[in-house]
Amino acid sequence: MTSAEKKAYLYGYKRARERIARLQIQYNQLFYSELMPGIQSDGMPHAHDPKGLEEYAARRDEILRSIAKAKQECIETLDEITWNIERIQSDSPKNTENEKTVLMLRYIEDLEWHEVAERMAYSRSHVDRLHGYALLHFRPVVMSRKAEKNFKDGAE
């Protein structure tokens, strides 16, 4: 697996969280459109369509099921990526822990590079080197279908 493929795999958790956020936005848009159904472009209240309420309920349930499924997939992706990060073995215990920390801060906590460097009390260039070594030592094992889907989505 190339470094680019490893990065795409590691970004799978971020993509899973973004999917949940998009579904939440859809749900909120649906909710607010139903909350104020009588306000149309002319600004005057209009009668409410009962059939529209049934459609709303069906769409709402569909989105809520999608959110629940996306959250479960996100948890599975997080567990798998974290497990794979914890498997990293380097030439020394200190390097091993630093490499794991760099990957966790960048890909799980979604920190910017300068924030990773600050949190670890290292220079940005040292963090870049640690990241390079971490990717060399990172060898993900048996991707679940959810993590594999997130990996493929990011590789495109």
- Report the mean per-residue pLDDT for the chain: 85
Q: Is the pTM of this model over 0.85?
A: no
pLDDT in tens, 8-39: 999 999 999 999 999 999 998 888 777 665 55
pLDDT in tens, 126-143: 999 999 999 999 998 856
Give percent above pLDDT 90 in the chain.
63
The residue type found at 73 is E
CA separation for the pair 132, 6 (Å, rounded)? 11
Q: Total structural domains in the chain?
A: 1
Host domain of residue 40: 3-155
Q: Which residue has 């910017």 as its token pair?
A: 112
